[in-house]
Amino acid sequence: MPLLVTDSSWTQTDSTVCLSVPLKGAKASKVDILSTDNYLKVHYPPYLFEAFLFEPVDDDRSTAKVGDGVAVFNLPKRTNKVWEHLMLTTNDKEKKEIREKALLKYQEKLSAQSTSRAAKRHTEKKYALEKMMTLEKEKRDSIQKMKDKEREKTTAELAAWQLRQEQKAEEEDQLKFHSQRQSQNRLKAVTTKQENGCSDGAHVKLDQRGNCEAKSRRKQKDLPAPRLVGNIQVTFTPRLFPTALRESRVPEEEEWLKKQAECRRSVNADVEELEDLKEEERNPDWLKNKGDKCFVTGDYLGAVNAYSLAIRLNRKIPALYSNRAACHLKLNNLHKAIEDSSQALDLLTPPVAANAAARARANVRRGSAFCQLQLYAEGLQDYQAALKIDPHNEALQADTQKVRDIIQNTAANP
């Protein structure tokens, strides 16, 4: 049974309430604080302080400082006015209702924070992916610009070569034209000599024969050599890129592929993690048995990891959530134990004889977590639900009676 703290002190202004709770030697790491707009709980075993506030406060702007043997709370008021008392004067039933509503609101707040963190992580991953895609686009644009420059350079070189070939052909045509003109001039000269006398006939024949031989040699020289016929085997290096391999671009391409792989790992981390599992590690039943063995040997963290991986593979097995709740109880993760027990009970519907034992275990584990959080009324409801399933369980009867006694003693000594 917890010892209620009654020697707290408080001061107020029109807009703020300052509350000091002595910690009686407890370490700051051992202090459990639960705060809502109309309820405040400070639990440091075996002491308990509860405050059912006189007026609502702004929980989002409230602050708490724990140290030097005291917990100091700064609670901004919702309305600027002076309180008559710090706490409401109510009966146990109203206190119970306020406590239950505060716990529900606190759990909803934790759930909202978890959802917000998940959304933030998703946004960050999305931003990283968009940034990576932008970098990849810039890299592709840079490669395309280099290709365009190389293509322009090659086109210019080809145009220059064609121009040189045309100039060379024109020069050859001019030389041929001059040679023909010279031959014609010589032929005219020979004809003139023949007309002048027969003595020059031999020279004319020699000149004509020489011109014919020169022309024949010139024609043979202009003809290209015959081409060789054959087949050329062409092979290509396997490539991930559509472009040809360039030695100067190999480091950039390797870096781009590395960034692609990192991006895929960041977006599909869970999928890749599951793909890396061994065949037996993909079996939820095998993982459940492994978690059970770890629990028996006292390796509760190992058991939680095994059950969590099995849940990722199959989220419809209630025993995985119930067993993980038992591990969280051993690790004093009480809120997680409540969440897993509740999930197991949701899956164990409709209630039938085949799942009666499993429902009883889940109720007991959730009730135990509620009691350790000093929420004995909620814990008693779960113990009674388990006792209704198994009314002849003596250990369960004894635990239920202990919870009833604690509630009665608390009511008798407020």
What are the tens digits of pLDDT across the range 388-411? 999 999 999 999 999 999 988 887
User: Per residue in 337-355, pLDDT tens?
Assistant: 999 999 999 988 888 888 8
The pair of structure tokens assigned to 211 is 């011109």
Across 103-112, 238-247, 258-267, 362-371, the highest mean pLDDT is recorded for: 362-371
- The domain limits of the chain are 3-79, 278-412
Pairing type for strands 16-22 and 70-76 reads antiparallel
Per-residue pLDDT at 24: 80
Task: Give the tokens for residue 164.
Answer: 């040189």
The CA distance from 73 to 63, in Å, is 6
For residue 354, what pLDDT is reported? 82
Q: Label residue 201 by pLDDT band (50, 70, 90).
A: very low
- The CATH number given to 3-79 is 2.60.40.790
Could you read off the pLDDT of 30-63 as tens digits, one per residue? 888 888 888 888 888 888 888 888 888 888 888 9
* Most confidently modeled range among 167-171, 177-181, 360-364: 360-364
Place of tokens 């929420």: 375
Banded pLDDT at 128 (limits 50, 70, 90): confident
**H or E element, residue 32:** strand 32-35
The whole-number pLDDT of residue 206 equals 46
Question: What pLDDT score does 363 carry?
Answer: 95
* Residue 390, pLDDT score: 92
Q: Which fold has domain 278-412?
A: 1.25.40
Residue 249 — very low, low, confident or very high, per pLDDT cuts 50/70/90?
A: low
Q: Mean pLDDT throughout 290-313?
A: 92
The predicted structure's pLDDT at residue 400? 92
Tokens of 410: 């608390």
pLDDT band for 272, please (50, 70, 90 cuts): very low
Q: What share of the chain is helix, strand, coil (3-state, %, to 5)?
A: 65, 10, 25
